[in-house]
Amino acid sequence: MLAKKFLLVATFLFTSTAATPYHNSYYSENVAPLVSSESAQIIPDSYIIVFKKHVDEVKVKYHHSCVNDYVSEEKRDLSKRGLLDDFISGIKHTFDFDNFQGYSGRFSKEVLDKIRRSDEVAYVEKDQMVYATELQKNAPWGLARISHRSRLTFGTFNKYLYNENGGDGVTVYIIDTGVNINHEDFEGRAVWGITVPQGDEDIDGNGHGTHVAGTVAGKSFGVSKRSKIVAIKVLRSNGSGTMSDVIKGVEYAAQFHLNEKEKARKERRVFKGSGANMSLGGGKSRTLDDAVNGAVSVGLNFAVAAGNDNRDACDYSPAAAENAITVGASTIEDERAWFSNYGKCVDVFGPGKDIRSAWIGSPRATNTISGTSMASPHVAGLIAYLLSLEPDSSSEFYSTLLTPKELKNKILNLATKDKLSKIPSDTKNLLIYNNYDG
Query: Catalytic: 245?
Result: no
- The model's pLDDT over 276-322, given as tens digits with 9 standing for 90+, comes to 999 999 999 999 999 999 999 999 999 999 999 999 999 999 999 99
Question: What pLDDT is recorded for position 70?
Answer: 85
Query: Catalytic: 373?
Result: yes
* 130: pLDDT strictly greater than 90: no
Reported as half-sphere exposure (CB side, CA atoms, 13 A), residue 415 has a value of 26
- The model's pLDDT over 93-124, given as tens digits with 9 standing for 90+, comes to 999 987 789 999 988 888 889 999 999 999 99
For the domain covering 133-431, report its CATH number.
Answer: 3.40.50.200
For the domain covering 6-128, report its CATH number.
Answer: 3.30.70.80
User: Peptide bond before 140: cis, by omega within 30 degrees of 0?
Assistant: no
Instruction: Return the closest-CA partner of residue 96 out of 57, 70, 125.
Output: 57
Residues of 78-89 as b/e, b for ≥16 C-beta within 10 angstroms?
beeeeeeeeebb
Pair 161, 176: CB distance under 8 Å: no
Domain chopping of the chain, boundaries: 6-128, 133-431
Looking at every residue in the chain, the average pLDDT score rounds to 87
Q: Which of 46, 227, 340, 373 is catalytic?
A: 373
Average pLDDT over residues 363-389: 97
Average pLDDT over residues 211-224: 97
Residue 368 sits at φ, ψ, to 5 deg, of -115, 115
Q: Which of 96, 168, 176, 354 is catalytic?
A: 176
- Distant-in-sequence, close-in-space partners of 39: CB < 8 Å, separation ≥ 6: 283, 284, 315, 316
Query: Catalytic: 208?
Result: yes
pLDDT > 70 in the chain, percent: 87
State the amino acid at position 365 in one-letter form: A
Q: Which of 63, 93, 183, 208 is catalytic?
A: 208
* 395: pLDDT strictly greater than 50: no
